[in-house]
Structure 1
Amino acid sequence: MKALQFSRTGDLAALEVVELPTPVPAEGEVLVQVKAAGLNPSDVKNVLGRFPYTTLPRVPGRDFAGVVIQGPDDLMGKEVWGTGNKIGFSRDGSHAGYITLPASGVALKPSSLSFAQAASLGVPYTTAWDALERSRVDGQTRVLVIGANGAVGSAAIALAKVRGAQVLAAVRRPEQVHALDAQGFKAIALGKPEELAAQVAEVFQGGADVIFDTTGFWLPAAVQALAPFGRIAIIAAPVDGHVQLPALALYRKGGSVVGINSLLYGVEACARMLEQFGRLFDEGKLPLPEGLVETPIEEGLARYAEVNQGGADKVILIP
């Protein structure tokens, strides 16, 4: 089978298109013919050596959608999708023609999603779902999502809306504000960090109950924009991993910071998440992904480079 593989880390030149034997599923596993695989920034960081637990050589890739061709009778021939913390890191991932994983680690693909659409959602939607769950977002919550135009941010505002929350989206550019307004979301354009609290107060009197910063750069400002007993969810940090936290303001508000890391969840836990919001797609409660860039896996090296350079397109690799 055709696959992307790296045998060392440090730069993207380590990634190669190779021919590998089709993997053989172990007892209790399924063999999935990959029809589409998402390319996430974490896949690029994996090749660059940002994850110390990655073992080599390795086929990268976390998100996929495909068809079960070996496994338990009740899954044979079924269209499935999946993601999780080991695939692409300590076991071969989805940027290949086939993948094996535990049978309990796949979910049935929603019929409303194409293979490419399903493959685009794993990491963004499980991350957003986890952030909202652990920040206790419900119909009484006022939520601010910073970076709402990104993959995770877009998932977060869609899922928060389904939960009945009041949603405020924060983005950088005026045209992004207009696009979100057209989708029915209240949105603001981010300016100076010291202005964020006033911007939020114009929409949510007293501050936001939950602030989800998908960028890693707004934590100090988010504390000032937080309502009493509010929660701030974070999924990223500056390159050095450090940020100055106004602790006095945080504890005076009774606030808390919630770290969100999708790599804490195995394929089985992720499959249960996919099942839950997968039903929402089939019920027409979540927007279908658009603007995907489908590309043959043989062109994967160029697509990895584009993502590494900050390309905004959601790339889907097709074996």
Structure 2
Amino acid sequence: MQALQFSATGSLDSLQLNDLPTPVPGAEEVLVEVRAAGLNPSDLKNVLGRFPYTTTPRIPGRDFSGVVVEGPPELQGKAVWGGTGKGFSFTRDGCHAQYVVVPANAVAPKPESLTFAQAATFGVPYITAWDALERSQVQAGTRFLIIGAGAVARAAQALAKARGANVVLGVRRAEVVQDLAAQGISAFQLPQADQLPELAQERFQQHLPEVIFDTTGYWLPAAVNAVGAFGRIAVIAAPVDGLISLPVLNLYRRGGSIIGVNSLLYSLEDCAKMLERIGAAFEGVLPIPDEFTELPLSEAVAAYNKVNEGGSEKIVLIP
């Protein structure tokens, strides 16, 4: 089979498309013919050595959709999606290949309303967003402020809206505010950090948000000052050095809590269960994604370099 593979981390120099033996599933495993695989920022970071536990040689790729070709009889021929979880593409081979082996209970039925390419865009951003919403208790009526407009922020907005939450996005650029408004999404341009509480309160009818989800890694101190009593702040990113100055006095005075969200803490089986719940919400509720670029697997190395150079569009690799 054709598969993307890297033999060393630290740069993209060792990343190449190789001819490798098709993997053989063991007991309680399935062999999936990959029809589409998402390219996430974490895939690039993996090759660049940002995850110290990665072993090489390794096939990257965390999100896939495809068809089961070997495994339990009840799964053979089924269209499935999966990926994202702990170890996948780090200590066991990922899905930027024609075939991938995973545990049989680590795949979920692909929603019929999604194409294979559309389904491959969901794993990492939607599972991350789902975990953030679950653990910060976003539900119907929750005043929910999302900071950022990337893939995870958009996923969180869609999932929270489906739950009936009162959702507002804070973004850096005015043109993004306009683009979101054209899609019917409430958003405002982020002010200076010390102005966030006032502006957030204005957007929620003179109430502070109950939950703030910082998807950027830079607004945590401002979020502490802008969240309401007993509020929750979910975070998924941080500055490169991992350090930030935090107004802890304001945090404990308002009974607030900070929740770190990391999809790598969950197994492939855990993530498949989340995808089942996410998939159930698609029928007429969640928006169907269309903002992505499909590229053949033969152009995967160029796609990685494009992301490394700052490209922001979602890329789906098609074996």
TM normalised by structure 1 equals 0.98
Aligned-residue CA RMSD (Å): 0.9
Deviation at 1:255, TM superposition (A): 0.3
Q: SS where residue 12 of structure 1 aligns?
A: coil
Deviation at 1:269, TM superposition (A): 0.4
CA-CA distance at 1:264 after TM superposition: 0.5
Which amino acid is 2:118 matched to?
A: Q
Correspondence 1:190-201 to 2 at 5 A = 190-201=190-201
1:181 aligns with 2:198: no
Consecutive unaligned residues in structure 2, runs of 5 or more? none
Tell me what 1:226 maps to. 227
Q: CA deviation at 1:310?
A: 2.2
Q: Which amino acid aligns with 2:215?
A: T
Q: Does 1:13 align with 2:2?
A: no
Whether 2:271 is the aligned partner of 1:262: answer no
Structure 1 residue matching 2:281: 3-state secondary structure: helix
**Residue 288 in 1 paired to residue 277 in 2?**
no
User: Aligned-pair distance for 1:182?
Assistant: 2.3
1:177 offset after TM fit, Å? 1.1
Q: What's the offset of the Cα at 1:307?
A: 1.3
Equivalent-residue separation in structure 2 for 1:127 and 1:308 (angstroms): 22
Corresponding letter in the other structure for 1:214: T
Preserved CA contact (<8 Å) 1:62 1:85 = no
Aligned to 1:206: 207
Aligned counterparts, 1:74-153, within 5 A = 74-83=74-83, 84-147=85-148, 149-153=149-153
Q: For 1:160 and 1:309, how far apart are their aligned partners in 2?
A: 32
Deviations 1:46-79 (A, max 9, x none): 0011111111110000100000000001100000
**SS of 2:13's equivalent?**
helix
| Alignment partner, residue 56 of structure 2 | 56
Q: How many Å separate the matches in 2 of 1:64 and 1:237?
A: 27
Give aligned-pair identity as a percent. Answer: 61
Shift of 1:140: 2.9
State the alpha-carbon separation in 2 of the partners of residues 186 and 44 from structure 1.
31
Structure 1 segments of 4+ aligned residues over 4 angstroms from their partners: none
1:193-252 superposed Cα distances (whole Å, 9 cap, x missing partner): 122111101112231100000000000010111001000000000000001010001111
Amino acid at match of 1:225: A
1:155 aligns with: 155
Residue 270 of structure 1 aligns to a residue whose secondary structure is: helix
Aligned residues: 317
Q: Secondary structure at the match of 1:145?
A: strand
